[in-house]
Chain A
Amino acid sequence: MGSRLILSLVCALVLCAGHTALRADARARLPLARVAAGSFRPLLAPSSDGEPRAVSVRSFWLMTRPVRNDEFLAFVSRHPRYRRDNIPRAFADAQYLLRFETPTRLGGGARPLQPVTLVSWFAARAFCESHALRLPSEAEWEWAAAASETLADARRDDAFRRRILDWYARPVGELPDVPHGPKNLYGIADLHGVVWEWVEDFNADVMVADGRSRADTAAQNRFMCGAGALRADDVQDYPAFLRLGFRSSLQASYTTKSLGFRCARDDRASAQKERP
């Protein structure tokens, strides 16, 4: 009887431990804010007939700041296969998490509250999944990032645009602790001004004329299904153009010192309909 009891107890403890390990990530709450639904024309508007079309974004939740070093360290401690000494090279390049002093300690090179960088798309995605979240789509990210402190779509606001361009022009120095900059309309900070960020569909940006191929138009058309269907809508939106160029240069295993991420999730009220 006693041994049976102990057996059950051990099993129960193991079960509990297993559960805590899985739930612990979700309990370390990441700060999220709700972004209201909207419709806007992204820089490259998807189209089937040559007419750029507006993209609708359902309401969703987005982290109010980028993911930090302390949070990412906790993630790799709980999911050792994402440590830099374990991750397959297919999922992250050789620089992955190299700011950390060791695979399991931040050390002097990475302050706990700085945004984590040198993370690949696969690792960023896995981090969000471990918190029952996901990466934002490009449209969601761009829509949230179009908001200034007072306007939902401030992309045509000269002062707002200039502030963003000033940041793109500055060399990357030491990253500040986050949150760092002002909060936008939704209470979300640092979409501009601190790090570039991964989005789920970073590889939806297709720059056709990359100059590597013999660039005759016929050949370019043969490089795509439905070629020529992406058309720049607003040539004035230079910040969006820079982000587009940056994203289209990325591969999923790439890591850079100025590329981080934040997580998102569906808004339950708007998640009833199937996502496209």
Chain B
Amino acid sequence: MSWSSSRARAWILAFSLAAASAVRADPPSAPAALPSDSIYHLSMALRDPQGKLAQLAAWRGHPVLIAMVYTSCKSVCPLIVADLKRIEAALSPVARERTRVLLVSLDARRDDTGALRKFVERHRLDPRRWLVATPAPGDVRPLAALLGVRYRALPNGELLHTPLIALLDGGGTPRARLEGVGTNASELIAAIEGTAKPSGVTAAAAR
């Protein structure tokens, strides 16, 4: 009797495992309430500087400034960080408090947790509002594709990439983008102020 019930349990376990793997075979998953154009449809895990896993949608509900960088990049990436800090500094206190910054690595192979920690220290990023994280190697290109970041690896290990800062609203829908570095950010800042207004109606109202 106990044998057969444990066997039934084993079947149920096997079935749930099969169901779970069937779900995993289909990467883009669609939680019910996401807007159709949300980049959070891409369900991907990111490794943070402490080695913990975070979801791309970790800051759902907040306005998020998202950019793709890599920590060994000497030329453009530090300028992207400088731009993000400049934008943050220009925000009203209310908007700054609500806004989060997500830096996703383009270099999944070399940006391990140690490299991420050094980057956070070097740029003095406030972990309460900034997340620097590395996706699995296979997830880099889909995210870049969704954001419109173009990149190519060079033989010396450098990555040629287009600098881009995108603003996601609380539902993960891109609302504004800033291409290049040192670009005038006033429109982006205005968009953040609009998106960051307290209450949950902003995403719907903006459409």
**A90 to B30 CA separation, bound complex (whole angstroms):** 11
User: How far, in angstroms, from A22 to B22 measured CA to CA in the complex?
Assistant: 7
Give the nearest-CB partner of B12 in chain A: A11
* CB closest residue in chain A, given B73: A225
- A225 close to B77 (CB less than 8 A): yes
* Size category, A interface: 35 or more
Segment at the interface with B among A46-54, A65-73, A183-191: A46-54
Q: Which of B86-94, B113-121, B123-131, B151-159 contacts A (4 or more CB under 8 A)?
A: B151-159
138-177 of chain B: CB within 8 A of chain A: 141-142, 144-146, 148-156, 158-163
Q: A8-B7, A90-B36, A90-B146 are in contact. Are A224 and B161 (CB under 8 A)?
A: yes
Residues of A within 8 A of B41 (CB): 88, 90-91
Check A204–B152 contact: CB distance below 8 A: yes
Q: How large is the interface on B (under 10, 10 to 19, 20 to 34, 35 or more residues)?
A: 35 or more
**Residues 76-96 of A at the B interface (beta carbon under 8 Å):** 79, 81, 86, 88-91
In the complex, the chain A residue whose C-beta lies closest to that of B37 is: A89
Contacting pair B154 A22 (CB below 8 A): no
Residues from chain B with a CB closer than 8 A to the CB of A46 are 152-155, 160
Specify which chain A residues have a CB less than 8 angstroms from the CB of B33 in the assembled complex.
none
CB within 8 Å of A: which B1-51 residues: 4, 7-8, 11-12, 14-15, 18-19, 22, 25-30, 34, 36-39, 41-42
Partner of A7, one of B11, B19, B153, B161: B11
- The CA of A47 and the CA of B180, in the complex, are separated in Å by 22
- CA A15 – CA B15 in complex, angstroms? 6
A88–B36 contact, CB under 8 A?
yes
If A126-B27, A201-B141 touch, whether A230 touches B160 (CB-CB below 8 Å) is yes
Quick check: B28 and A89 within 8 Å, CB to CB?
Answer: no
Checking B15, B79, B159 against A14 with a beta-carbon cut-off of 8 angstroms, the contacting residue is B15
Tell me which of A19, A200, A251 contacts B18 (CB under 8 A).
Answer: A19
Question: Bound complex: CA of A130 vs CA of B181, how far in Å?
Answer: 39
Q: Using A8-B8, A201-B152, A205-B150 as known contacts, say yes or no to A225 and B27 having CB atoms under 8 A apart.
A: no
Decide yes or no whether B182 CB sits under 8 A from chain A.
yes
- B76 contacts the other chain (CB 8 A): yes
Cα(A7)–Cα(B9), bound, Å: 11
Q: Flag if B37 contacts A206 (CB, 8 Å).
A: no
Distance, CA A53 to CA B152, complexed state (A)? 14
Give the interface of B toward A (CB within 8 A). Answer: 4, 7-8, 11-12, 14-15, 18-19, 22, 25-30, 34, 36-39, 41-42, 73, 75-77, 79, 141-142, 144-146, 148-156, 158-163, 179-182
